[in-house]
Amino acid sequence: MEFQRARRPEQVEQRRRAILETACAMLRERSVAEISLRELSDRVGLAKSNVLRYFDSREAIFLEVLDRELGAWLDEVEESLGSLGPGGSVGGAEAVARAVAATLLGRPLLCELISGMAGVLERNIPVDFARVFKRRANERKTRLANLVRSRVPVLDEAAARHFAASVLVMTAGLWPHARPTDAVAQVMRELGGPTAGELVREGLTEGLVNQLVGLVVRARPARA
């Protein structure tokens, strides 16, 4: 960026984009809880006060990244599910759940942000920003529910939304285990069990399969 102060709209957008891209780069190195606003500002090359001219807080920066990552992921989910035929069978539901899990696990940055959303990122945002973010998050969840329902039409709207919420909850609960400390990783190797990555991958995939298949089985008698 060749300008000192962003005055024109395109300069403001350029600076916001630089901040978000820097946040993404730092998330590839460490967890969101370990990144301070000072470190982020230093990496961007701005004072903290200047960064806060473009975003309300450190948390707001990462929530903006989260929203963008969710949008990109849902585009991928739509493409992935597009190759699956609609159907209410158990096999069809399992294929949908596995596709959702596979696309999500392929985006570790998104998983990291989901895991920190409720416990870290939503703890320091004003009500106006919270209102905007939660509205957009709800729209993302509704889109996921609609995508799943288009391939598993036996589900009603409430069941599809329940599954969409479960995707986020399971990811938030499992993903922190994907980055064990060196001591924990060593003990896991000594015990001869699966690696942390394998445990998270299997846990999320099987958890989503069981969730969606269960919803399909429960929906059948109600529609008989």
Distance CA 113, CA 101 (A): 16
Question: 104, 123, 120, 124: which is closest to 174 by C-alpha?
Answer: 104
Residue 124: predicted pLDDT: 84
Query: Are 99 and 167 within 8 A, CB to CB?
Result: no
Structure tokens at 70: 């969710």
| CB contact at 8 A, 48 and 38 | yes
Query: What per-residue confidence (pLDDT) applies to 224?
Result: 43
Q: Give the pLDDT score at 85.
A: 67
pLDDT in the model for residue 9: 76
What pLDDT is attached to residue 26? 95
Tell me the torsion sign for CA atoms 160, 162, 164, 170.
negative
Q: What is the pLDDT along the chain (224 residues), one digit of tens a residue?
A: 444 555 567 778 888 999 999 999 999 998 898 999 999 999 999 999 989 988 989 999 999 999 999 999 999 999 999 988 666 577 889 999 999 999 999 999 999 999 999 888 998 888 999 999 999 999 999 999 999 999 999 999 999 999 999 999 999 999 999 988 899 999 999 999 889 999 999 999 999 999 999 999 998 764 44
Cα 177 to Cα 174: distance, rounded to the nearest angstrom: 6
